[in-house]
Structure 1
Amino acid sequence: MPEEFRVLAPLVVAALGTAAVAVLGAVRPRLAPPLAVATAALALSATLLMPAGGQVDLPWAPTWGLRLTFAADGLARLYALLATGVGLAVLTYAAGYMPLHAAHEGYPLSRTVRLYSLILLFMTAMLGLVLAQDLIVLIIFWDLTAITSYYLIGYEREQEASRRAALTALLVTGISAILLILAGVLLYTRFGTAQLPDILAQVQAGPFVTATGALIAVAALAKSAQVPLHFWLPQAMVAPTPVSAYLHSAAMVAAGVFLLGRVHPLLALSPGLQNVLLAGGFASMAIGGVLALAQREIKRLLAYSTIAQYGYVVVMLSLGAVEGAAYYILAHALIKSALFMSAGAVTEATGETDLDRLGGLARPLPLLAVGSGLAAAGLAALPLTMGFFKDEVFFAAASERGGLVSVLAVAGAVLSFAYTWRFWGGIFTGRLRSQVQRIPATLTLPVLVLGLLVMLGGIVPDPAASLAAAAGESMAERATPLELAYHLDLHAPTLMAVITWVLGIVAVLTAPRWTAAPRVVARIGERYGPDRGMFMGLVRLTTFSRRSRAFLEVRNLQWRIATVLVAAALVVGATIVLAPPWPTFRVGRLPTSDWPLFLFLLLAALSALVATRSAGRLILVLALSAVGYSLAAVFTFIGAPDVALVALLIETMMTLLLLAVLGLLPIGLARAPAEHEPHPGRRRAVGFITTAFVFVICWGVLSWPAPDAVMARAHLELAPAAHAADVVTAILADFRGLDTLGEITVIAIALLGALTFFVSRRSA
C-alpha cells in the first residue's frame, strides 16, 4: 500500500463514511448506527496503520505556489487516534442512547441519522486539521469544525436554548477564527509560503512574531474555551450527550490546544506571550474549578471541569513541557469522554440531571459505577491510573518554575479532586433518591472500556508515554523523552501530589462549610461575566442596527438606486471642483466607419426611452429587447463577436420567456396604475445628476486612451495561466462565470426557502 494513501486513509474513510451514512440513513434509518460505528472502526484501524512521519504532497495552485501537504507526525497521530478512538466509543454509545433520547424528546428515529453523519463529518474535519501542514488547508478544516459543531450543538433546533448555545459557540469560535485567518495572511505575506514547517523554520523573535502569535493564541484559547472566552462551553451542554462526550473531550475543545502545540516554536520565541498564556491557563483552572463546584446539573459540572483541565494544558505549553501537555491531552480525553457518557447514562436511567436529586446508583448500576469510578479516579489523579501521571508531569513542569507557580498548581489540583468527588460521589454514593430504569448495554460498555483503559495506562504507562513523546518532539522540533514510573522517594512532583490528596480529602469532608461560596461566585459571574457582556452587546448592536436601518434605509427601489448613483455623482463632482481636469476632456472627430456604431447606440437610447414611457406590456418587452439587440450590435462593431453572440442568445431567450409569460396572463389584466409621487421634480433631478455623472465619466475615459499597452500585454501573457485562449474568454469563464454561479446559488436558496415555506404551510 503506498505511503501517501496510508497517510490519508483515515481522512478518506471518515469522509466516505459521512456521505454513506447520510445517504443510506435517509433511505433506511436503522442502517445509520451500525454504518457509523463501522466507519469509525475502519478510521481507527487506518489511523493505527499510518506510517510514522509519512507525508503527502499534492499540487493545488502551482501558479501561487500552493500545495496540499499532509503529514503523519507525532502530534497528528496522537490527535488522529483521539478523534477516531473516542469517536468509535461515542458512536457505539450513541447507538444505544439516541433511540431512548428520541423517544423521550418525541421525535422520530429517522432524525437521529443527522447526528451520526454530523459526528462523522466532525471526525473528518478533525482529521484534516491535525494532518494538514499547509496553513490555508488548516484554516479551512478549522472553520469546518466550527460549522459542524454549530449544527451538532443546535441539534435540537426546536429548543431556544439549543439555538442560542449553537449561535454563541459559532460567534465566539467563528469571530476568533478571523484572527487566525489574519495571522495566516501576515505569515504568508512575510515568508511567501503557506507551508507551516517552512514558516516555523524561518521565524525569528521580534514584534512581528509576538503580534502574530497573539492572534493565533486568541483563536486557540477561544476554541479550547479558556477564560475569558469560556462561556460558550457550558451553554453547549444542551446538546445530546454523545455530542458533549465527543466535541468537549477529544475533538473541538482539543483543537485549540492542538493549534498551540502546532505553532509552539513560534510562540516560544515570545517570553511575554508565554507569560500571558501561563496566567490565562491558571485563570481557567481557578475559574473553571470554582464554577464546577457551584453546578447542580451534572453535564455543566463536567463542562466547567473541562475548562479547568485544558487550563492545565495551556500552563504546560507555556512552561515548555510539550510532552507533558501531550500526555495530559491523551489522558483527559479518555477520562472526560467516559464521564460525559456516564452522565448521559445516569440521566436516561433516572430521568434526573440534578446532583442534589441523585445518589446511591452504585448498587443498581454497578458496571457503570466501576467504569465511571475508574475514570473519576483518573481525573482526581489517584495512583494506578493515567491521571496519576498526568498530574505528575504537570507538577514536574510547575516545580521547575517554582514559587507561586507550584502553589497555584497544587491549588488547581485540589479543586480538581473536589469537583471530581462531587460528580462521582454525588451520583453513586449515599442513599438511593430516584427510581432507576434498565438501560442498554451500549450505554455502559463504552464507559467501562474507557475506564479500564485509564487504569491500564496507569499500570503500563509506556505506550501512552511513547505517543506523548512523539507528539512533543513534533511540537518542540527536538527530542522530548517522557519516562513515567512510580517513585517511592519524595521528590517535588510526588510531594505535591501527596499534598493535593490530603487537601482534597479535607475539602471533601468540609464541603458543607464552603459549598455556598462557589455559588456566590457563579451568581456574580452570571450578572457581570463575559456571557452577560456578550449578550448585552448583541442586544445593543441589534437595537442600533434596527434604528439605523429605520433611519437610513430607503425602502423604495427607485430611491435606493438613486441613493447609490447620486452619492457616486457627488463624489465625482467634488473631485472635478477640487481638481479641475478640464484639459482631460477632448472633442474628437466621428469617423465614417463609426457611424453605424453611433446609430446603434442611439437606437439603444431611444428604445430605453420608449420602455420607460410605454403603457402596454408587449411594447415594454419589445423595447427592452431592442435595447439588448442594439448593444449586441455595438459589441460586434468594437471587435467582440463572441460577446455579441452570447448577448444575442441571452436576449432571444429572455424575449421568448417574457412573451411566454405575457401569454399566460389574463387578457383583462391591466397594468397597475403608477403610484402618486408627491415630488416629481426629485426624480427628474436624480435622473439629470446621474446622466451628467455617467456622461462625464465616459467622456473623460474616452478622451485619453491608455498611452501604452503594458497592462494589455500582461493580460495577454497571463491568459494561458487561466487555461484560456484569450483574455475575453478568461474574464467570461472565471469572473463572470463565478459571479453567475453566485447569482444562481442565491436564487436556488431563495427557491428552497419559498418551497419550505409552502410545504410547512400545507402541513400546518
Structure 2
Amino acid sequence: MRFRPARPQEGLLTTLAVGLPLVLALLAAPLTALAGSLDHRLTVPVSVGSALAAFLAVVWGWGVMGGGSIDLPWSPTWNLRLAFELDGLGALYAMLATGIGACVVFYSSKYLALHLEHQGRSPAEATKFHALILMFMGSMVGLVTAQDLFLIFVFWDLTAIASYFLIGYDVHERESRYSALMAMLVTGVTAVLLLVGAVMLYVRYGTFLLPELEQVVQPGPHLTVAAALIAVAGLAKSAQVPFHFWLPRAMAAPTPVSAYLHSAAMVAAGVFLIGRVYPLIQTSQLLLDALIVIGFSSMVVGGVLALSRDVLKQLLAYSTISQYGYVVFMFGLGGSYGVAAASFYVLAHALVKSALFLTAGTVTEATGGEYRLSKLGGLAGKMPVLAAASGVAAAGLGALPLTIGFFKDELLFAASLERGGVFPFMALLGAVLTLSYMWRFWSGVFLGSTAQETVKSVVKPPAVMVAPIVLLGVLTLGGGVFVGPFVGLANAAAGVSFGEAVSVEAAYHLDTRPENLLAGATFALAALVVVTRRFWSGAAEGFAKVGELAGPERLYAASLHGMNNVSDSVHDIEVDTLRSRVSAILIPAALLVGAGFLASVPSGGSVYSVGGVRGVDLPLLLVLLLVAAAAVAVTIPRNHLTLVLVMGSVGFGLAVVYAFLGAPDVALVAVLVEIMLTLLFLGILALMPKEVLERTEKASLNRASRLRAYSIGVVSGLFALFVVWGALSQPAPPESIADEHIRLTPDAHGYDIVTVILADFRGLDTLGEIMVIGIAVIGISALLLRGRLR
C-alpha cells in the first residue's frame, strides 16, 4: 500500500505546492540564458536568484503546504499522464537539487570567472555554464517529482544531456571530451534499461503510473526482471560497481560541476530512482540481496581507492562511490531502519561532500593550480576559515559527534544490527574506510609542512569561494545539534519508499548500546589505519593498479575500440560501391525481418498461408508473371538503352496490376511516374560521354563478385517474398483505424476525413519538416557568423 501523508489543504494551493517549484526550476535556465545574451553581467544575479527562488518554493511547498500533486492527461492512448507530486521523497531530493544548486551557482560566480581567465576565454562563456547548471537543476526537480515512469525517463535523459555538456565544458581539452562521452555512454545506454523495464510493466499492467503499479503488481519473475532493469539504470547513474569508473573520469569537469552533479545531484539521481521504485524492488529478496552485494562492493572498492589517490578530486570521487555504496547497501538491508537510514545518508552526504568538493576547488585556485595531495600541506595557518569549515565537513563525512554525519552512521549501524549476522561488521568496515580517507584528505591539505614552496605561493581565496563552504559547514554542525528536522524529512522520504509510515529517531545516547560500541570501534580502527599507512599503502596502490589493468574501464575502452573498428569496417564496405551500399541495407533488413517473422509464428498455426486461384484471377496472374519476368530480364542487358526500356516495362506492368485491383487513380500515377523516370534516364544517357557508356558496358565481374551479387539478389528477393506473403496471410482486422478516424473527425472540427488528415496529420508533418529546415538554417548561420564556414 502506498504511503501518502495527509495534507491540511486541498485544491489550487496543493497544485501550486508542486507546480511553483517545478515551473521556477524549469524556467531558471532559459531566463539565465536570456539575461546573459542581453548582458553577460546579468548572468550571475539571475542564475543565483532563480536557484534561490526555486529552493524557497520547494521549502514552502513541503514545509508549509505539506506537498501537493498535479495529474493531467498527456497521451491518453498510451495512458501517459503529466503526474507530478511533491511527496517526502521528492521534497528531500528537490531541496538538495535547488539548495545545493544555489550554493554552487553562487560559488561559480567567482570560480568560473577565474577559470575562464586562466584559459584565456571570454567572460561571456559563463552564461552557458550557469544555464547548463540550472538546466540540470530543473531536470532534477522534474525527475524527483514525476510519478509516471515514462515521464521519469524523459527527465532522466535530460539530466544526462545536461551532465554531458557540463562535464565537457572545457571542450578544447581532450580529457574533458572523453570524460563527457564516457559518462553519457554509461548512463545513457543503461537508461535504455529503465525504459525497457517501464515498458515491461506497462505491457503487463497497462499503466506507467507508479502509484497504480504499486497497487496492482504481483511478485514473480516478470516483476523481478523489470525492477532489476530499472535498478541497473539507477546503479549506473550512482556510479556503483562495476559502473563506477565513469565518475573519477568526470572530475575533468570544473569544480562546481563536481560539487553539484557528483555529490548532490547526478549520482543522487541514481539512488533516488531506486528509492522511487523500491516498493517494486522489495518484493524480491533476490534483488535486495543483489543491492547488498553491489553496495558493499562499492563501499570497499571506493574506500580503498580513495586511500590510494593523490589528486584531490579523484580522492573525493572515489569516496562518493563508496558513500553511495552505503546507500545501496542500506536499501538492500531493507526494513524501516534500512530505508530511513538510506534517505538520511543521502541528505547528510550531500551537505558535506559538496563542501569538500568546493574546498578542493578553492585550495587549487589559492595555490596557483596545485591539485595533488602530496604537494599540499600546512594551509590551515594561511586559510583558517576555510580549514575550519572544511574540517567540519570532513568530520561530518567521518561521522564524528556534534555533526550530522554522526547520526548517518548511527542509523547505518542500527539498520545493520536489525538485520543481524555479518552485516554490522560490513558496516563497520565501510565506516572505518570513510574516516580514514577523510582524515587523509583534510590533514594532507591543512596540516603538516610538507610543501613549503606551495604554502609560500598561497593567495587569500575570495570570500565568495569560501562563504558557501562555511554555510554548508554550519548546516553540518546544526544537523549535529538539532537533528530533528533532518530526520523528519528522511522519515517522510522513507515512508514513500517503504510504503508505510516510518518513524526512526536519532539522538545521542551515553551508554553501551551496540551502535555506540560500533562507533567507538570505528574511531579506534580508523586511527590504527592512519598510523599504519606505510604497511598497507603499497597493497592499496597495487589494488588500484590491478583495476586499471583489468578493471571495467579497460573493458569499456576495449569495447568502444572494437565497436569503432566494426563500424569502420561496415562503413568501408558500404561506401565502396552502390552495390555494396544496397547490400549493407538489404541483407541486415532481411535478417531482422526474417527473425521477426519466425518469432511471431503462433503455436499450432502458421504466419504463411496459401489461398485458392479462381478463374477471374488468371489475367492478374499472367500480368504478375510478365512483371516478374521483366524484373529478372533487367539483370541481363548490357546496353544502357535496352536496360532502361526493360526496366520501364516493370513499372508499366505494375500499373496494369493496379488497374486490375480496382485502383485506376494509382495506376495513372504509376504510368506518369514511369514515363517521367524513363525520360529522365534517357536524358541522362544522352548527356553522358559515349566513352563512359562503352566502358561500363564492357565491364565484367569476377567469379567471386558474381557469386556475391547472386546471393544478395536471392536473399533480397526472399526477404520481399516473405514480407509480402506474411502480410497477405494475416486476416483483416475486425476494426480498421479508418473507423477511429471517422469517429474523431467531428472532434477535429472537420467535415470529412480527408480534410482532417491533410490539416492535422500532414500539417503536423509539414510543421516538423519546417522545424528541421529552420534548425539547419540556424546552425549554418551560426557557423557562418563564427567564421567556421568559408
Q: TM-score range by the shorter chain?
A: 0.7 to 0.9
Q: What are the superposed Cα offsets for residues 402-451 of structure 1, whole Å, 9 maximum, x if unpaired?
A: 33211121111111111101111111111244111233211000000000
- Aligned counterpart in structure 2 of residue 210 of structure 1, from 205, 208, 224: 224
Q: CA offset at residue 33 of structure 1?
A: 1.3
Partner secondary structure for residue 2 of structure 1: helix
For residues 491 and 301 of structure 1, what CA distance do their matches in structure 2 show? 33
Conserved? CA contact 1:247–1:253, under 8 Å: yes
Partner secondary structure for residue 736 of structure 2: helix
- Aligned counterpart in structure 2 of residue 199 of structure 1, from 201, 213, 220: 213
Partner secondary structure for residue 309 of structure 2: coil
Matched, 1:560 2:577: no
Q: Which is worse superposed, 280-289 or 734-743?
A: 734-743
Matched, 1:439 2:450: no
AA paired with 1:156? D
Structural mapping, 1:51-450, within 5 Å: 51-320=65-334, 321-350=338-367, 351-431=369-449, 432-434=452-454, 435-450=457-472
For residues 781 and 79 of structure 2, what CA distance do their matches in structure 1 show? 44
Q: CA offset at residue 516 of structure 1?
A: 2.5
For residues 182 and 428 of structure 2, what CA distance do their matches in structure 1 show? 33
The aligned counterpart of 2:604 is: none
Partner secondary structure for residue 515 of structure 1: helix
Q: What are the superposed Cα offsets for residues 512-555 of structure 1, whole Å, 9 maximum, x if unpaired?
A: 333222211111111111111111121122223323443x4253
For residues 748 and 556 of structure 1, what CA distance do their matches in structure 2 show? 33
For residues 693 and 377 of structure 1, what CA distance do their matches in structure 2 show? 69
AA paired with 2:324? Y
- Aligned counterpart in structure 1 of residue 494 of structure 2, from 472, 485, 488: 472
Q: 1:514 to 1:59 in 2, by over 3 A?
A: same
Structural mapping, 1:680-759, within 5 Å: 711=733, 713-720=735-742
Conserved? CA contact 2:82–2:151, under 8 Å: yes
Q: What are the superposed Cα offsets for residues 72-119 of structure 1, whole Å, 9 maximum, x if unpaired?
A: 111111111111100010000011110001111221111121111111
Conserved? CA contact 1:414–1:501, under 8 Å: yes
Conserved? CA contact 2:35–2:46, under 8 Å: no
For residues 667 and 440 of structure 2, what CA distance do their matches in structure 1 show? 74
Structural mapping, 1:559-578, within 5 Å: 560-561=581-582
Conserved? CA contact 1:359–1:433, under 8 Å: no
Q: What are the superposed Cα offsets for residues 212-264 of structure 1, whole Å, 9 maximum, x if unpaired?
A: 22212211111110111100000000000111011011111001111111111
Q: What are the superposed Cα offsets for residues 150-170 of structure 1, whole Å, 9 maximum, x if unpaired?
A: 111111111111111111111
Partner secondary structure for residue 59 of structure 1: strand
Structural mapping, 1:553-632, within 5 Å: 553-557=574-578, 560-561=581-582, 583-584=612-613
Matched, 1:497 2:485: no
Structural mapping, 1:449-528, within 5 Å: 449-528=471-550
Q: 1:693 to 1:503 in 2, by over 3 A?
A: closer
Q: 1:28 to 1:221 in 2, by over 3 A?
A: same
Q: Which is worse superposed, 200-209 or 12-21?
A: 200-209
AA paired with 1:8? G
Conserved? CA contact 1:715–1:727, under 8 Å: no
Gapped runs of 5+ residues in structure 2? 1-11, 599-606, 621-638, 642-647
Q: 1:716 to 1:393 in 2, by over 3 A?
A: same
AA paired with 1:385? T
Conserved? CA contact 2:18–2:67, under 8 Å: no
The aligned counterpart of 1:665 is: none
Q: 1:302 to 1:761 in 2, by over 3 A?
A: same
AA paired with 1:231? F
The aligned counterpart of 2:565 is: 543
For residues 696 and 148 of structure 1, what CA distance do their matches in structure 2 show? 42
For residues 696 and 222 of structure 1, what CA distance do their matches in structure 2 show? 39
For residues 296 and 730 of structure 2, what CA distance do their matches in structure 1 show? 65
Conserved? CA contact 1:224–1:256, under 8 Å: yes
For residues 719 and 444 of structure 2, what CA distance do their matches in structure 1 show? 80
Q: What are the superposed Cα offsets for residues 190-219 of structure 1, whole Å, 9 maximum, x if unpaired?
A: 111111011112223222222222212211
Conserved? CA contact 1:399–1:406, under 8 Å: yes
Conserved? CA contact 1:358–1:433, under 8 Å: no
Q: CA offset at residue 48 of structure 1?
A: 1.0
Conserved? CA contact 2:201–2:223, under 8 Å: no
Q: CA offset at residue 38 of structure 1?
A: 0.5
For residues 191 and 110 of structure 1, what CA distance do their matches in structure 2 show? 51
Q: 1:123 to 1:672 in 2, by over 3 A?
A: farther
AA paired with 1:508? V
Q: 1:692 to 1:534 in 2, by over 3 A?
A: closer
For residues 173 and 715 of structure 2, what CA distance do their matches in structure 1 show? 56
Q: CA offset at residue 501 of structure 1?
A: 0.8
Matched, 1:10 2:21: yes
For residues 584 and 727 of structure 1, what CA distance do their matches in structure 2 show? 36
Conserved? CA contact 2:343–2:493, under 8 Å: yes
Partner secondary structure for residue 169 of structure 2: coil
The aligned counterpart of 1:533 is: 555
The aligned counterpart of 1:33 is: 44
AA paired with 1:458? G
What is the count of residue pairs matched by the alignment?
736
For residues 788 and 94 of structure 2, what CA distance do their matches in structure 1 show? 46
For residues 11 and 218 of structure 1, what CA distance do their matches in structure 2 show? 27
Partner secondary structure for residue 239 of structure 2: coil
AA paired with 1:323? A
Coordinate RMSD, CA, aligned: 4.9
AA paired with 1:136? F
Q: What are the superposed Cα offsets for residues 647-685 of structure 1, whole Å, 9 maximum, x if unpaired?
A: 99x99xx99xx9xxx9xxxxx9999966747239999x9
Q: 1:678 to 1:290 in 2, by over 3 A?
A: same
Q: 1:257 to 1:696 in 2, by over 3 A?
A: closer
For residues 385 and 417 of structure 1, what CA distance do their matches in structure 2 show? 13
Q: CA offset at residue 642 of structure 1?
A: 13
Q: What are the superposed Cα offsets for residues 676-701 of structure 1, whole Å, 9 maximum, x if unpaired?
A: 47239999x999x9899999989x98
Gapped runs of 5+ residues in structure 1? 592-611, 615-623, 663-667
- Aligned counterpart in structure 2 of residue 22 of structure 1, from 17, 28, 33: 33
Partner secondary structure for residue 56 of structure 1: strand
AA paired with 1:226? Q
Q: CA offset at residue 732 of structure 1?
A: 6.0
For residues 276 and 706 of structure 1, what CA distance do their matches in structure 2 show? 47
For residues 89 and 39 of structure 2, what CA distance do their matches in structure 1 show? 38
Matched, 1:43 2:65: no
AA paired with 2:459? Q
Conserved? CA contact 2:237–2:269, under 8 Å: yes
For residues 730 and 92 of structure 2, what CA distance do their matches in structure 1 show? 61
